[in-house]
Amino acid sequence: MLILRTIPILQDNYAFLLKCSETGITAIVDPAEEAPVVAAIEAEGGRLDLILITHHHGDHIAAVEPIQQRFGAKVIGAKADAHRLPHLDQAVVEGDIVSVGNARANVIETPGHTIGHIAYHFAQDHILLCGDTLFSLGCGRFLEGTAADMFASLAKFAALSADMLVCCGHEYTQANARFSLHADPGNAALVAFAKHVDELRANGQPTIPSRLGDELACNPFLRAPDVASLARLREAKNKF
Ligand code: ZN
Ligand code: FE
């Protein structure tokens, strides 16, 4: 079984710690700030075996090298982006398996935000590490890929089990909720979810991870019926 810890870093980013409860093998996802990530590793016993990268942006990889050197961890990231990522010990493509002790993740290629973006899907542990592809009540900007790329990537997530914990890269949920309510005001599930988000934030709590089932019911980007609708939503959000 995997133990999951959410680590707030930088302004509004999240790194994640994954620890196999049987073997103690520990991984960090998207370590972009050294001190809080090291503190989280020390709090779980001071062991780090693996670093998993979702994409090449600085707010996801900035501390990979110092943390790798400190703990001697192996680094895993997309083969397609090997030229612009820190040195990879395992360069992965769609369908590859990444092991964290006894836990297994399936690699999902999710272009859109960046071309070489990937997600890690731990089906048995109900954990989806999706970087800046899917946010709670939002999705990443299409910085390198097209609306069609992002639509196909989100469709891969929509097909996963609804009890998946969505571990995304940013705490954008409250701002995303305001836009989502504007885009889909008649959605009662969304109205209730947005209220829950406001309560969490008022208490200083993270909204991440969320549940994929809630995203499927409430997230207008994940619910967009076609590429053109997704493109229109993204444009409207950029101007909101
Ligand atoms: Zn990014
Ligand atoms: Fe980011």
Digit-coded pLDDT (tens) for 196-212: 999 999 999 999 999 99
The CB density around residue 21, as the number of other CB atoms within 10 Å, is 12
**What is the pLDDT at residue 228?**
98
Query: Coil, helix or strand for 127?
Result: strand
Distance 85 CA to ligand 1 centre (A): 13
In the chain, the domains with their CATH numbers are: 2-239 (3.60.15.10)
Query: Is 132 known to be catalytic?
Result: yes
**What is the pLDDT at residue 212?**
98
Distances in Å between the Cα of 38 and the Cα atoms of 2, 35, 52, 63, 214 are: 19, 5, 15, 10, 32
Distance 57 CA to ligand 2 centre (A): 6
Nearest to 104 by CA among 91, 95, 113, 114: 95
Query: Is 60 known to be catalytic?
Result: yes
Distance 217 CA to ligand 2 centre (A): 24
Query: Is 113 known to be catalytic?
Result: yes
**What is the pLDDT at residue 195?**
98
Q: What is the mean pLDDT of residues 115-134?
A: 98
**What is the pLDDT at residue 9?**
98
Query: Coil, helix or strand for 107?
Result: strand
Distance 23 CA to ligand 2 centre (A): 31
Packing angle of the helix pair 227-239, 173-183 (nearest 10 deg) = 120
Q: What is the mean pLDDT of residues 208-223?
A: 98
Query: Is 121 known to be catalytic?
Result: no
Q: What is the mean pLDDT of residues 185-194?
A: 98
Nearest to 18 by CA among 95, 107, 127: 127
- 29 neighbors 20 (Cβ within 8 angstroms): no
Tell me which of 81, 125, 132, 214 is the catalytic residue.
132
**What is the pLDDT at residue 223?**
98
Tell me which of 30, 96, 113, 125 is the catalytic residue.
113
User: Over the stretch 140-179, which tens digit does the pLDDT of each residue have?
Assistant: 999 999 999 999 999 999 999 999 999 999 999 999 999 9
User: Over the stretch 59-85, which tens digit does the pLDDT of each residue have?
Assistant: 999 999 999 999 999 999 999 999 999
Distance 84 CA to ligand 1 centre (A): 13
- 76 neighbors 107 (Cβ within 8 angstroms): no
**What is the pLDDT at residue 230?**
98
Query: Coil, helix or strand for 79?
Result: helix
Share of the chain above pLDDT 70, in %: 100
